[in-house]
Amino acid sequence: MREEFKGIGLGWALFAGALFAASHTALAGETEGFWSALAEGGKVVMIRHAATEEASGEVSMNLDSDGDCSAEQNLTDAGRDQARALGALFQERGVAVSEVLTSEFCRARETAELAFGEFEAWGPLNLVESLPADDAEFLMEDVRERIGDFEGEGVLVMMTHRSNINTITFQQTEPGDMVVVVPEGMGSFAVLGMIPSP
């Protein structure tokens, strides 16, 4: 009897291993497809800023009006390396960037600068919880319209925050994760999928 259970256990272990390998291969194949879509141009990619230091809710919500990053939540050294790796991936994959828009928060601006160099800060990408309650939905609609109406030859990068990406695309992201979106005109778009952080 023990030998039978031992055989069953081994069989399940082999099955689980094969299932994991197949799942990993499928995920890698999807990621390749998303990179190919970006290289074609005409897409929008929403990126969650790179890894940050621990901070209280008050500090993480703070946006300094004078741009003083010492009063805000900032990237860790690992986060800065992650941001540089992000930019290197775009170059390695041959993805042309038409425009980079970023939240005004220091952690998003620094990620954009380290990854892509030039960027434009755009208020509607600011942490949604920090936006005036009466304006938040209107500003999110501005983002949706900007995505849906994009027609550039390269890609439009939007550097923002987890809650913003979830609100717009219904995708849950970790630092540095990228959500690929296909503009469809008239403020409409389709979510293609997510590329994990480098």
Residue spans of the domains in the chain: they are: 2-195
Output helix, strand, coil percentages for the chain, rounded to the nearest 5.
Answer: 50, 20, 30
What's the CA gap between 99 and 118, in Å, rounded? 8
**Structure confidence at residue 62 (pLDDT):** 85
Q: What does pTM read for this prediction?
A: 0.85
Neighbour tally for 100: CB within 10 Å? 21
Choose the weakest-confidence range: 11-15, 18-22, 84-88, 154-158.
Answer: 18-22
Long-range contacts of 70-77 (CB under 8 A, 24+ apart): 72/105, 72/106, 72/107, 73/105, 73/106, 73/107, 74/106, 74/107, 74/110, 75/49, 75/50, 75/51, 75/107, 75/110, 75/111, 76/51, 76/52
DSSP 95: -
Give 55's pLDDT tier (boundaries 50, 70, 90).
confident
Class (C level, CATH) for 2-195: alpha beta
* pLDDT tens digit sequence for 171-191: 999 999 999 999 999 889 999
Q: Half-sphere exposure (CA, 13 Å, Cβ side) for 11?
A: 6
What mean pLDDT comes out for the span 130-153?
A: 93
Confidence of residue 15 (pLDDT cuts 50, 70, 90): very low
Question: Over 80: is that where the pLDDT of 24 sits?
Answer: no
Output the average pLDDT for the chain: 87
**Per the structure block, which two tokens stand in for 167?**
């609100």
Query: 107 vs 6, which has greater pLDDT?
Result: 107
